Amino acid sequence: MWTASQVLRRFSTSPHHYQNKLKLAIIGQSLFGQEVYSNLRKQGHRVVGVFTVPDKDGKADPLAVAAEKDGTPVFKFPRWRVKGKPIPEVVEAYKAVGAELNVMPFCSQFIPMNIINNPKHGSIIYHPSILPLHRGASAINWTLIHGDKKAGFTVFWADDGLDTGPILLQRECAVQPNDTVDTLYNRFLFPEGINAMVESVQLIADGKAPQIPQAEEGASYEGIQKKSNAKVDLAQPAEAIHNWIRGHDKVPGAWTVIDGQSVTLYGSSMLGGKAPDGQTLEIEGASRPGLVTKKGLVLHGTDGKALLVKSLQFEDGKMIPASKYFSSGEGASVELTDNEKRVAEEIRNIWKGILSNVPTINDNTDFFKSGAASMDVVRLVEEVKQKCAGMQLQNEDVYMYTTFQDFIQMFVRKLRGDDQKEELVIDYATKEVNSMTVKMPYQCFINGKFEDAESGKTYDTINPTDGSVICKVSYASVGDVDRAVAAAKEAYEIGPWGKMNPRDRGSLLYKLADLMEEHQEELATIESIDSGAVYTLALKTHVGMSIQTFRYFAGWCDKVQGKTIPINQARPNRNLTFTKKEPLGVCAIVIPWNYPLMMLAWKSAACLAAGNTLVLKPAQVTPLTALKFAELSVNAGIPKGVINILPGSGGMVGQRLSDHPDIRKLGFTGSTPIGKQIMKSCALSNLKKVSLELGGKSPLIIFSDCDMDKAVRMGMSSVYFNKGENCIAAGRLFVEESIHDEFISRVVEEIKKMKIGDPLDRSTDHGPQNHRAHLDKLLEYCDVGVKEGATLVYGGRQVDRPGFFMEPTVFTDVEDHMFIAKEESFGPVMVVSKFKDGDVDGVLQRANDTEYGLASGVFTRDINKAMYVSEQLEAGTVFVNTYNKTDVASPFGGFKQSGFGKDLGEDALMEYLKTKAVTVEY
């Protein structure tokens, strides 16, 4: 024991590891407290004790969970004092840890001054305002309520006043027009607050921490905001109303009185321009009646300006879109009229006639649990339709609303016409291009609606043909991800998608494919101006294969089957074991920019066919066809929440999808380094399933006994197809020595015939690279090739015209050690190496000498040689005497650092299913 203590002491006082480090007591709670604790430990400070709140409902606070996992002493005191006096045993337990500094990142308990002042360096506290402004527990609320243009936080030295101690450090940020408590906290106060607490501790350790007295000028204190004092005063200017509502969103919630009951208002934003048409709604205390519109509830201020409220919550806890106030849908119960009650009793008698074994039909009677079968469904539907001529009732309605109460609610909504599908409101970006008018959604698509990003931020998406701005696109935030995941989870767990018959699900996917085909010219045009794809290729491949993919997987919906398995674990063997294939739940999909719509289809079609819901992030530079697809999905009847599309950055949206605990699978196509980061995040978050289609350096071997015409044509296609922005592009060609020079000569001859230009011109062969940064990277790639000694036979330069055009390029004399021999260009760069005549095994060794293994190819008339080479090549796809020939029924995916998991074919469906084994003894 003594020896161990000495070792620990020597380590703890080591000047290398613990120089200018402190022994800390962390007093606080919540995820914020946990993050501060973890980051301080990473910086080498020693946490000698964590003081947090007792477990709630058997669940420890996040700070306690992290500390207990690390073996840090944890104390869970329900209180620190009684009747204003410190509790002696609590004080004694605290002092025993020997802290040099108290760090209080989020503390909801009153800490006595003999604890505050006990450590050598005292105590520091985090407060979410720019002190001395907004002292008190509701500082963030009041920052927004007062309409402050700046928000921020303060790390200060604790004293015996209320947030009055000397200031150590402050940080500021701008308040966005539609910020709420949540967005402000998540965007700035939380992440930067953690960094500031760690920085403050280090300043104290280094003896550099200031103590700046707070000025009383500008000081303010506002009381705690509770539900009881959060009623909004509607007799004031619109911006003041907006600030009050957003200052209470989500907690405690600003409320008003409508039709005699308290209604809480969420999702406020200032309304620019003329208010949309709507139905008037009297609201207590308002200067003018509100308007229930398709976009939400419009409230008018006394200054003639207006604001828009998106969601309403009633006293019973039910929340509805404000646009649905006069509709009985969205979970609000229908109050039946006398005539509707009479009809309901007639329907009750129909149920009695069918469910003759049930003594009484009450509200909770379940049609199927009471013994009804499929023929009873038909009978119920037909009898009800006979009673109510003109009623549009489907068998599916019975399966969706199985209890008598739910069935009656559904029936009355249909009777009133309240079940009519809500009109999709889209603010299009419109362009006259390619002899047509293209209408492009540009907002986030969440829960069946297009809406601005929570932050209000946008970015420009660029036409690579001339560098012009196509439109501004919403820039999704972490909050948008969370809302989209919540919508997808609800759609999966309680919405119609999760309950839907697989064959009906397939019908919807077929309809979606049909709509994509109806709009194929518009989709191809959008794809062309957003990604630079040649229009004819976009029409055939980008869009055409997307349509085929949805049709293929639509056919799989009702063909997912398990197995029966004989087992022999006991005698007598009266056991039945069978397996079921079940959907995973909410899935995330992150797609690249080279085939924006096709990569969406390859992953989302299989995902949806398996019965999952999804949140998809298109590439930041090519979001437009994904958003158009979202519009078509609504028109196809895909229920809200099933598909969600979030344009924005991979670093923000993609990372949050990787980290989100409610996502059960992430499918990604992109670079290997990002794939590795995603895989790590998915493992650390909740061990979500992952499939990765990553980088490639696909070899193409051309033997002297090939069909030369075909080898030249297909060899060029293997490199220049889709401007070389092709994951399976032949990254390196190995050409047998005896035909090498002829092959190169013929390739260059054909390149000179290629037409480079406007991708919408039907005669164009080669369009612009996807975006400026990629073009610059390709030019740098070629410079490296030349510097390393490869021979630049053709191209290697930017085309002298507006836009991001690059010449098709050919390198020869490429040696195995060179950068361009090992790294993917992802552009129109043909990298050619010779191999000696007849050296099959030698060229195979060189072809496989890569960490990638996505695709490969071989050209030879010798079928024995072709089969041997295809067996030896280490790649997920091998093309023989062809290239780029993918099909929706053939599995696609790589080996090694090109990833794992499959797109397309039955294998892809299995990526989005889980296997459950059931064993029954009888």
What DSSP string runs through 829-874? EEEEEEE-TT-HHHHHHHHT-SSEESEEEEE-S-HHHHHHHHHH--
Q: Is the distance from CB of 812 to CB of 790 less than 8 angstroms?
A: yes
Domain ranges of the chain: 23-206, 227-324, 338-416, 428-693, 699-897
- Ligand-binding site membership of 654 (annotated): yes
Given CA atoms 488, 493, 496, 499 in this order, what sign does their dihedral have? positive
Task: Judge whether 110 is annotated as a binding position.
Answer: yes
* CATH code, 699-897: 3.40.309.10
Structural contact between residues 809 and 783, judged by C-beta atoms closer than 8 angstroms = no
Tokens 């060794």 sit at which residue?
845
Where do runs of H (alpha helix) occur along 662-707?
672-686
The answer to whether residues 864 and 663 touch, using CB atoms and an 8 Å cutoff, is no
- 225 in a labelled binding site: no
d(CA 413, CA 705): 73
Beta partners for 591?
A: none
Encoding tokens for residue 345? Answer: 């009793």
Name the amino acid, one letter, at 322.
A
d(CA 198, CA 170): 13
Which of 180, 123, 193, 181 lies closest to 152 in space, CA to CA? Answer: 193
DSSP bridge partners of 589 = 616, 667
CATH classification number, 227-324, choose in 3.10.25.10, 3.30.930.10, 3.20.20.100, 3.90.1150.10: 3.10.25.10
Q: What per-residue confidence (pLDDT) applies to 860? A: 98
Which residue type does 38 have?
Answer: S
* E strand or H helix at 879: strand 877-880
Q: Of the residues 727, 766, 774, 874, which is catalytic?
A: 727
CA distances from 874 to 88, 151, 729, 894 (A): 71, 56, 16, 9
Q: How many helices (H) and strands (E) does the chain have?
A: 31, 40
- The pLDDT of residue 570 is 61
* 777 is known to lie in a ligand binding site: yes
The CATH superfamily of 23-206 is: Formyl transferase, N-terminal domain (3.40.50.170)
Residue 825 marked ligand-binding: yes
Residue with tokens 């699978």: 665
Let me know: does 308 contact 296? Beta carbons within 8 Å: yes
Q: What DSSP line would sit under 492-544, residue for residue?
A: HHTSHHHHS-HHHHHHHHHHHHHHHHHTHHHHHHHHHHHH---HHHIIIIIIH
Say whether 29 counts as a known binding-site residue: no
Instruction: Give the pLDDT score at 420.
Output: 58
* Residue 651 assigned to a binding site: yes
| Cα 609 off chain centre by | 19
Full DSSP string of 337-351: -HHHHHHHHHHHHHH
Rounded-to-integer distance, Cα 122 and Cα 108, Å: 18
Whether 655 has a binding-site annotation, put simply, is: yes
Give me the CATH topology for the region 338-416: 1.10.1200
According to the annotation, is 619 in a ligand binding site? yes
The answer to whether the annotation marks 506 as part of a ligand binding site is no
Spatial distance between the Cα atoms of 760 and 466, rounded to a whole number of angstroms: 12
Q: Which two tokens stand for residue 491?
A: 């759609």
Residues 6 or more apart in contact with residue 373 via CB below 8 angstroms: none
Structure tokens at 60: 């420890």
Low-confidence ranges of the chain (pLDDT < 70): 1-19, 57, 316-318, 327-334, 418-422, 570-573
Where do runs of H (alpha helix) occur along 519-637?
Answer: 520-531, 535-537, 544-554, 596-609, 624-635
Q: 45, 121, 127, 771: which is the annotated catalytic residue?
A: 127
Bridge-partner residues for 248, per DSSP? none
Is 591 annotated to bind a ligand? Reply is: yes
Q: What is the CATH number of domain 428-693?
A: 3.40.605.10
Name the active-site residue from 451, 693, 725, 874.
Answer: 693
State yes or no: 422 annotated in a binding site. Answer: no
CB 298 within 8 A of CB 308: yes
- 213: how many CB neighbours lie within 10 A of its CB? 10
- Bridge-based pairing state of the strands 586-590 and 613-617: parallel
Q: Are the CB atoms for 80 and 89 separated by under 8 Å? A: no
Catalytic status, residue 587: no
Catalytic (active site) residue 242: no
Report the first-to-last Cα separation within the chain, whole angstroms.
59
Question: Is 671 assigned to a binding site?
Answer: yes
Q: Is 66 annotated as a binding residue?
A: no
Q: What is the pLDDT of residue 759?
A: 97
**Measuring CA to CA, which residue among 222, 214, 215, 80 is closest to residue 156?**
214
How many Cβ atoms sit within 10 Å of the Cβ of residue 414? 17
Residue 109 marked ligand-binding: yes
**Which of 51, 196, 62, 36 has its CA nearest to residue 128?**
196
Is 19 annotated to bind a ligand? Reply is no
| CA 572 to chain CA centroid, nearest Å | 51
Dist. CA 287–CA 303, nearest whole Å: 10
Distance separating alpha carbons of residues 753 and 749, to the nearest angstrom: 7
Is residue 727 part of the annotated active site? The answer reads yes
| Residues belonging to the chain | 922
Can you give the pTM of this predicted structure? Answer: 0.64
Cα distance between residue 314 and residue 296, in whole Å? 16
Q: Is 618 annotated as a binding residue?
A: yes
Helix (H) / strand (E) element for 471: namely strand 468-474
The single-letter code of the amino acid at 715 is G
Q: CA triplet 499, 500, 503: central angle to 5 degrees?
A: 150
- What is the pairing mode between strands 852-853 and 829-835? unpaired
List, in order, residues 6 or more apart from 387 with CB less than 8 Å away: 343, 346, 347, 350
CB of 25 closer than 8 Å to CB of 94: yes
Q: Is 617 annotated among the ligand-binding residues?
A: yes
Is 23 marked within a binding site? no
Please name the residue ranges forming H helices in 404-450: 404-416
Exposure string of 79-118, with b = 16+ CB inside 10 Å and e = fewer, is ebbeeeebeeebbeebeebebbbbbbbbbebebbeebbeb
